[in-house]
C-alpha cells in the first residue's frame, strides 16, 4: 500500500464527534482478512439488465489514527459515492478503487448526522473523466417490503468483489438511533468490508446501503433507500469528515 504522502486524496476535516460503538452491532467494515468461505456465484447477476451493480460498486480504504479500515461504496452519479459513515469517519486519507482497478481521486467526504451514511465527492477532473463512460446506480423509488428478494454487493475484507443473495425479513429500530430511524433486517450474508455497499432488488435498483450485522441474530442490517434519499436531499444533515 502506498504511504499517505503518495495518495492523491487530500486531508479531510472533522465536523463532529465520533459515533460511540454499539455492543449489539458488528459493523461490516474493518481490518480483517477476506472470509474463508467461497463467494456466492456472481452469475446470479448475469441476466440481461440495464445496469450491473458490480460496475458501480467501489472498494474504499480509509487511513485513520487507528490504522487501515476497509469498506465498500457505490457511485450514484459521475461525482458522488455513497458509503457508511463508519467507513470514512476519522479518515486522514481515502483510497477508492473501481471493480476494474481504476483509482478515483477524492475531493471531500461528508458524513450523515442521523444515519450511518456518508457521501464522498470526487475531484472535478475525476468527475469529468467518469462522465465519459461511467456506470452509476439507480435508486429504487421506495423501500422494499418484507419477503422481497435482494442482493448485497461489496468487498468483504477488502478483497474480491462478491455478491450474496437473500430476502427482506422485517424492519427494526436502528440500534444506534433508536426510534429516530428504521433499518432493514435481512438474511443476506455480509462480512466486514461489505459496509457501505449497495443492496439491490431484482431490477438491480438500490434499495439500501449495507450497514452491520446484528450480533444476537446474525442478521444483516441495511439502511433503507428512503433514508438515503432524505440525506441526499438535506445538505444540512451532513458534516465534513475530518482526519485525526
Q: How many whole angstroms separate alpha carbon 45 and alpha carbon 151?
A: 9
Cell, residue 61: 480504504
- Which DSSP symbol is given to 42? G
200-238: burial string, b at 16+ Cβ within 10 Å, e else: bbeebbbbbbbbbbbeeeebbbbbbbebbeebbeeeebb
Whether 86 sits among the annotated catalytic residues: the reply is yes
Radius of gyration for the chain, computed over Cα atoms and rounded to the nearest angstrom: 16
**Residues facing residue 239 across a β-bridge:** 111
Q: How many whole angstroms separate alpha carbon 83 and alpha carbon 210?
A: 8
Looking up cell 438511533, which residue turns up? 177
Catalytic residue of the set 9, 72, 86, 220: 86
Catalytic residue of the set 9, 72, 116, 186: 116
Q: Which residues are catalytic?
A: 86, 116, 195
Amino acid at each position: 500500500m502506498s504511504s499517505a504522502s503518495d495518495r492523491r486524496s487530500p486531508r479531510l476535516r472533522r465536523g463532529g464527534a465520533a459515533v460511540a460503538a454499539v455492543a449489539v452491532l458488528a459493523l461490516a467494515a474493518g481490518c480483517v482478512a477476506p472470509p474463508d468461505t467461497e463467494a456466492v456465484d456472481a452469475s446470479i447477476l448475469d441476466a440481461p439488465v440495464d445496469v450491473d451493480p458490480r460496475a458501480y460498486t467501489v472498494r474504499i480504504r480509509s487511513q485513520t489514527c487507528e490504522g487501515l479500515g476497509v469498506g465498500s461504496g457505490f457511485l450514484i452519479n459521475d461525482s458522488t459515492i455513497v458509503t457508511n459513515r463508519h467507513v470514512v469517519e476519522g479518515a486522514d486519507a481515502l483510497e477508492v478503487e473501481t471493480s476494474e482497478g481504476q483509482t478515483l481521486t477524492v475531493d471531500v467526504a461528508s458524513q450523515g448526522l442521523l444515519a450511518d451514511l456518508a457521501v464522498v465527492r470526487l475531484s472535478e477532473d475525476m468527475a469529468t473523466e467518469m462522465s465519459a463512460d461511467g456506470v452509476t446506480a439507480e435508486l429504487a423509488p421506495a423501500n422494499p417490503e418484507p419477503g422481497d428478494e435482494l442482493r448485497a454487493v461489496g468487498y468483504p475484507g477488502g478483497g474480491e468483489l462478491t455478491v450474496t443473495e437473500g430476502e427482506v425479513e422485517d424492519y427494526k429500530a436502528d440500534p444506534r438511533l433508536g426510534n429516530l430511524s428504521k433499518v432493514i433486517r435481512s438474511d443476506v450474508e455480509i462480512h466486514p468490508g461489505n459496509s457501505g455497499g449497495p443492496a439491490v432488488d431484482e431490477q438491480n435498483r438500490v434499495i439500501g446501503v449495507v450497514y452491520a450485522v446484528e450480533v444476537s441474530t446474525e442478521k444483516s442490517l441495511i439502511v433503507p433507500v428512503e433514508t438515503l434519499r432524505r440525506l441526499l436531499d438535506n445538505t444540512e444533515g451532513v458534516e465534513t469528515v475530518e482526519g485525526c
